[in-house]
A and B are shown apart, each in its own frame.
Chain A
Amino acid sequence: MSNSYSSGNSTASYSSPTTAGNTSLLGISVAVGVIAIVALGAIFSGSLSFVWKLLLALAVVAAAIFTWIQASAALKQVEALQAELKRAQFEQQLTQTYKTLLENYQQLLKDLLPTWQRQTELARHQLESSITELVGRFSEIHQRLQAAVASSSTTASSMKGDTGLGGVIQFANAELGQITQTLRAAMEQRDDLLTEISGLSKITVELSGMSAEVAGIASQTNLLALNAAIEAARAGEYGRGFAVVADEVRTLSTRSGETGARIGKRIEQVNSALQTTLDRTTEYAAQDSNRLSKSEGSIAQVLEQFQHSSESILQSAHVLEQESAAVQSSVEEVLVNLQFQDRVSQILSHVTDDMEKLVGAVADQETRLRHGESVTLIDIQEWLRAIQKTYTTLEQVDVHHGSHHSKTPSNSEITFF
């Protein structure tokens, strides 16, 4: 459907039926007037009979009445025409005002629409660049979190099991326990050795006694040798040889006594040294046992602390992993939501495209008006149908039909063909 209207400043010019009627009535009135004047002339000429004069006089009166009626009607028509003229003048003024207003609107649209278009395009561009930047940053955060979660997960899993920190602690516990057991075994062996040394000490006592016995035997031998020498002296010449033997025996017994005394002394020294060693070793053994017990306690404490620390680390790693996963999930949500830019960009594109279309239509109409050509009115329904065809999202269609909601689909929808 298309409507046309005349352009330019031509005003409406038409001949109304009332005006045509007035013209014919004016002609009749003039004719009646002429007839009345002729009748009055005939009356006053005196050549006519009374009857004719009366008839003419009646005709003149009728003409006068008719003229008066016509004059009254003409007066009313003049008044009506004057009112119509005033209305026509008002309409002309109104048309002029509308024309000025239309020209103003056209100029406004011509100047304003490209500005709106540029501003919208600027907003679209800035939105796109900012969102792209944001997406980049969030993607980087997402990647880093992914790496952190993976690393934390690897660390946590490496801390578990036989090869993890717990396994190392268990291994250390077993190894250190074995070492302390070995040390304890060594200490027990040393205690055995001490018992042996203690036994040796008893032997030295026996040796000391034996040494005393040797000294006694030497003394008795010396006494026997002395007696033998006396007996040899009594025997005289026959006992001379025996006297030599007795002397030698006495010498030997003296030496035996001396050796026995030295042995006894040495045994005493050995016994003293053994006792000192035994005492010191016993003291050291007590100290060692004490140290070993302390060491075992320290090892157990250190391992327990290690165990506790590893459990804390594992727990922290687990919490960190969970938190990182939660943040990662939030970042993923942000990345999904940032896709609104694509939708907004498309909506703004449709608006700017339509603005451009309107700018073109207005410019075209202006050109036609300037050249005095007929202008086709814009079909608003057709325009709205055309813009609806450009919509890509369902919410655009809803908003087009007057809905005020601004929700966007939150769940992605996949269709496989």
Chain B
Amino acid sequence: MSKVILVVDDSASVRQVVGIALRGAGYTVVEANDGKDALTKLDGQKINLVISDVNMPNMDGISFLKEMKQKANYKFTPVIMLTTEGAEEKKREGQAAGAKAWIVKPFRPEQMLQAVSMLI
């Protein structure tokens, strides 16, 4: 059974690019529009890895990450932040919240897949 990856981004085009690359590599993809939507997607299925944007309406990526890490079954699930934010301060914030990798957009699908394969 293929690994399940949750893709959280308010931009439909980015979700599409990420989803296509991941599906092409044999992963199962679950999509969410923002942090709140993503929290609802965590329940009822096993997510092996999360790729999340940072700046999103309703709930941003860092807040979502913190909420997710509160859940016992997602405490050790790897998270990749995929964002336009390139500031070191934000990266440190993401690292403190429990992110394993930080990718600055625009990204190359193969590099993202490489990061994914390194984490799961």
Contact = CB atoms under 8 A, between A and B. Distances in A.
Given A392-B83, A417-B95, A412 B16 contact: no
A220 B118 CA distance: 118
A139 B111 contact: no
Interface in A323-340: 332, 335-340
A416 B101 contact: yes
Contact of A342 (B13, B24, B91, B115): B13
24 contacts: A132-B13, A135-B17, A335-B109, A336-B106, A336-B108, A336-B109, A338-B13, A339-B13, A339-B14, A339-B17, A343-B106, A393-B84, A393-B85, A394-B87, A408-B106, A409-B106, A413-B103, A414-B101, A414-B102, A415-B101, A415-B102, A415-B103, A416-B115, A417-B102
B16 A332 contact: no
A342 B11 contact: yes
Interface in A361-417: 392-394, 408-410, 412-417
A392 B100 CA distance: 20
B17 A139 contact: yes
Interface residues of A, number: 34
Contacts of B118: 416
A67 interface: no
A409 B17 contact: no
Contacts of B86: 393-394, 409, 413
A139 B20 CA distance: 7
Interface in B60-118: 83-87, 91, 94-95, 99-112, 115, 118
Interface of B: 9, 11-14, 16-17, 20, 24, 54-55, 83-87, 91, 94-95, 99-112, 115, 118
B89 to A, nearest CB: 11
Nearest to A350: B55
B78 to A, nearest CB: 10
Nearest to B88: A415
B101 A417 contact: yes
Contacts of B109: 332, 335-336
Given A340-B106, A341-B11, A412-B107, 11 more contacts: A139-B20, A332-B109, A341-B13, A342-B9, A342-B13, A346-B84, A393-B85, A409-B86, A412-B104, A412-B111, A417-B95
A143 B20 contact: yes
Contacts of A392: 54-55, 83-85
Contacts of B83: 392
Nearest to B98: A417
A128 B104 contact: no
Q: DSSP majority for the B interface? A: mixed
A128 B55 contact: no
A178 B49 CA distance: 62
Contacts of B106: 336-337, 339-340, 343, 408-410, 412
Contacts of A135: 13, 16-17
A343 B103 CA distance: 14
B50 to A, nearest CB: 14
Contact of A131 (B13, B105, B110): B13
Nearest to A412: B107
A345 B24 contact: no
Nearest to A411: B108
Which 3 interchain pairs have the tightest Cβ spacing?
A412-B107, A339-B106, A415-B102
Contacts of A142: 20
Contacts of A41: none
A274 to B, nearest CB: 80
Contacts of A307: none
Interface centre among A337, A342, A343 (most CB of B within 10 A): A342
A50 to B, nearest CB: 103
Contacts of B91: 415
A261 B106 CA distance: 113
A360 interface: no
B105 A342 contact: yes
A343 B14 CA distance: 11
Given A392-B55, A393-B86, A409 B104 contact: yes
Contact of A136 (B16, B24, B55, B107): B16
A146 interface: yes
A417 B100 contact: yes
Contact of B17 (A338, A393, A394, A408): A338
Interface string A73-115: 0000000000000000000000000000000000000000000
A413 B20 CA distance: 20
Contacts of B24: 143, 146
Contact of B105 (A136, A143, A339): A339
B18 to A, nearest CB: 10
A134 B17 CA distance: 11
Contacts of B105: 339, 342-343, 412
Nearest to A393: B84
Contacts of B108: 332, 336, 412
